């Protein structure tokens, strides 16, 4: 993807022409990133459809710049801001250029307000999947069902008026889609997989823009390997291996690039019961990579002592993680430190496309913006979970690794409420082991995207045998997802949950009760903390 467009300078114009020549295309869409955590998904969705999306900075790209670069379509993403409270800076004259424009969520509200449609901050909020009921036969919704599930996440609402044509509604949004001349808007997010027919909507918008010839999708794995080859040839690379799919895919990308001495470091301490076993099994006896197990249990527990808030625990984990990798990099004489950082990690940490729009920090990730003493390699930082897995399959990474459930970098720390002690760490690990073991035994592990067990600080009256007392409450959860930006709670069979609950309360003496969480993302996050 071309670098972010800030102004229509001669250099930027040359770069756009070069990018289009490579893609054998003559048309492109300009995407104004308004701070949404989903904006990169729009880029990926359009690329899959064979169209190039150039990301633009809303604060500096003016209507004159847009005229100069001449996109055939414009998209405004969503964002955490409100049209009433600190709206992102944007040249509203862009709306008057006559270029087909699609506003997504906040982007829709922005042009609606510009043309005088009533936008209210006091409507019923919508988070999660809702049913969109379209009216009429607008070309944006050609070939779509009359009713279709969509992912919504908004507080402000657009009211019906003569200012725009209402194209459809949901239960809580009277205008979930609208149009005025060359301006289209949707209150939901077509770029996420939860919006079942979202790809068709973007395909229809590209047709509206006149993009009929699409460039072929190339091999992303081979592109990354080619980029790495010149950079790492003859170098020493230290890679943080977790036993999960992302770091495993990065290791195989480095292997494919060749010419480098690679050392993997697995950091023991706050991990799942079987993480280390996966690292040893798939990397421990390979000639192309050296593996070291670094036991940082004491360091983690010392850093976490007395800390109860999730953010402060995450920050403590980051500190130890960085220190261990820095030490191992010095010992190895590493030229680079490699990590399995995804775009999801960056975006939830308040990073991503540097467009100047406000980006919400959802949670602190262990692997972002660490400032290592040697350059960092994050070859998957523009990918999300499903695309990273696709790259892994192209590289023939073992499927057992690819399908491992995502696991947070801070490990079991975010699955323990309150202070992390050796005792509750032992309990959390035991509970997690039982849950995952039963998911595998019931052939449910691969059918859910992620599952976990959180040791809460709530206590529950228990009766075990003839005695009575208090036991801790553990909260189980499992979700279906594609890329981790959104998720729906998984409806696991009741007999399965009963069996898991019985095992946990029988085998882990500290547990008095088991619950199951039924919240989607949004509004909840996938991990408890």
Options 126, 152, 191, 383, the catalytic residue: 191
* DSSP letter, residue 11: H
Closest by Cα among 318, 255, 325 to 286: 255
List the Cα angle 130/136/137 in 5-degree steps: 100
Does 443 qualify as catalytic in the annotation?
no
Active site residue 189: yes
Q: How many CB atoms lie within 10 A of CB 29?
A: 24
Q: Which residues of 69-89 are buried (b: 16+ CB within 10 A; e: fewer)?
A: bebbbbbbbbbbbbbeeebbe
Note the residue count of the chain: 529
Task: Return the structure tokens found at 463.
Answer: 């009766």
Catalytic residue among 105, 130, 154, 365: 105
Which residue is it, tokens 């991503």? 352
Provide the CA 142 distance to its chain's centre, in angstroms.
29
> Beta strand 467-480 with 488-489: parallel, antiparallel or unpaired?
antiparallel
> Which of 505, 437, 439 has the alpha carbon at shortest distance from 473?
505
* Sheet containing 336-338, strands listed edge to edge, beginning at the edge strand earlier in sequence: 289-295, 261-268, 236-240, 336-338, 376-377
The one catalytic residue in 189, 252, 353, 405 is 189
Cβ atoms of residues 367 and 345 within 8 Å: yes
Q: How, if at all, do strands 261-268 and 289-295 pair? A: parallel
**Residue 365 appears among annotated catalytic residues:** no
Q: How far is CA 430 from CA 71, 74, 412, 435, 454, in A?
A: 56, 51, 11, 9, 11
3-class DSSP state of 166: strand
CB 100, CB 127: distance < 8 Å: no
Distance, in Å, from the CA atom of 358 to the CA atom of 36, rounded to the nearest integer, reads 9
- Degrees, nearest 5: CA angle 251-478-346: 45
Decide if 277 contacts 401 (C-beta within 8 A): no
CA distance 360 to 351: 9
Pairing of strands 53-56, 488-489: unpaired
Whole-angstrom Cα distance, residue 423 to residue 421? Answer: 5
Of 31, 28, 32, 94, the closest CA to residue 67 belongs to 94
Residue bearing tokens 């600190």 = 86
Distance CA 262, CA 238 (A): 6
DSSP output for 187-205 = SS-TTSTTSTTHHHHHHHH
Which residues are designated catalytic?
105, 189, 191
């Amino acid at each position: 993807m071309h670098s972010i467009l800030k102004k229509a300078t001669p250099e930027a114009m040359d770069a756009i022409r070069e990018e289009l020549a490579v893609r054998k295309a003559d048309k492109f869409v300009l995407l104004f990133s308004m701070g949404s955590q989903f904006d990169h998904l729009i880029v990926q969705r359009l690329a899959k459809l064979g169209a190039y999306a150039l990301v633009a900075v809303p604060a500096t790209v003016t209507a004159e710049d847009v005229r100069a670069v001449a996109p055939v379509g414009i998209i405004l993403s969503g964002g955490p801001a409100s049209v009433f409270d600190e709206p992102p800076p944007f040249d509203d004259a862009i709306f008057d250029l006559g270029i087909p424009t699609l506003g997504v969520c906040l982007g829709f509200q922005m042009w609606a307000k510009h043309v005088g449609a009533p936008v209210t901050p006091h409507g019923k909020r919508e988070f999660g999947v809702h049913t969109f009921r379209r009216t009429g036969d607008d070309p944006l919704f050609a070939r779509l069902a009359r009713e279709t599930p969509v992912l919504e996440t908004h507080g402000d609402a657009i009211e019906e008026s003569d200012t725009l044509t209402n194209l459809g509604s949901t239960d809580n949004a009277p205008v979930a889609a609208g149009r005025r001349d060359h301006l289209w808007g949707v209150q939901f997010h077509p770029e996420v997989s939860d919006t079942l027919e979202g790809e068709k909507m973007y395909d229809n918008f590209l047709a509206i823009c006149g993009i009929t010839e699409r460039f072929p999708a190339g091999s992303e794995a081979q592109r990354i390997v080619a980029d790495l080859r010149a950079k790492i040839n003859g170098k020493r690379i230290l890679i943080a291996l977790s036993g999960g799919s992302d770091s495993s895919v990065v290791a195989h990308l480095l292997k494919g690039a060749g010419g480098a001495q690679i050392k993997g470091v697995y950091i023991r301490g706050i991990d799942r019961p079987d993480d280390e076993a996966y690292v040893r099994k798939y990397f421990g006896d390979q000639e192309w990579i050296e593996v070291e197990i670094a036991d940082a249990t004491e360091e983690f527990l010392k850093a976490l002592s007395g800390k109860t808030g999730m953010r402060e625990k995450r920050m403590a984990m980051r500190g130890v993680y960085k220190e261990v990798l820095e030490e191992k990099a010095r010992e190895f004489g590493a030229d680079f430190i490699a990590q399995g950082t995804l775009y999801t990690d960056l975006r939830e940490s308040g990073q991503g496309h540097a467009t100047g729009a406000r980006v919400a920090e959802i949670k602190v990730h262990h692997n972002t913006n660490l400032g290592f003493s040697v350059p960092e390699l994050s070859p998957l930082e523009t990918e999300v979970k499903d695309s990273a897995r696709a790259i892994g399959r192209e590289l023939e990474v073992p499927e057992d690794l690819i399908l491992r459930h995502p696991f947070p970098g801070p490990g079991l720390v975010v699955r323990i409420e309150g202070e992390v002690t050796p005792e509750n760490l032992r309990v959390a690990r035991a509970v997690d082991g039982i849950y995952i073991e039963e998911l595998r035994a019931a052939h449910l592990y691969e059918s859910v995207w992620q599952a976990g067990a959180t040791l809460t600080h709530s206590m529950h009256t228990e009766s075990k045998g003839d005695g009575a007392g208090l036991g801790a409450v553990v909260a189980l959860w499992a979700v279906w997802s594609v890329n981790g930006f959104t998720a729906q709670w998984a409806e696991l069979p009741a007999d399965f949950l009963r069996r898991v609950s019985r095992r946990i309360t029988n085998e882990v003496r500290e547990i008095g009760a088991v619950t199951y969480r039924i919240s989607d993302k949004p509004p909840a996050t996938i991990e408890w903390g």
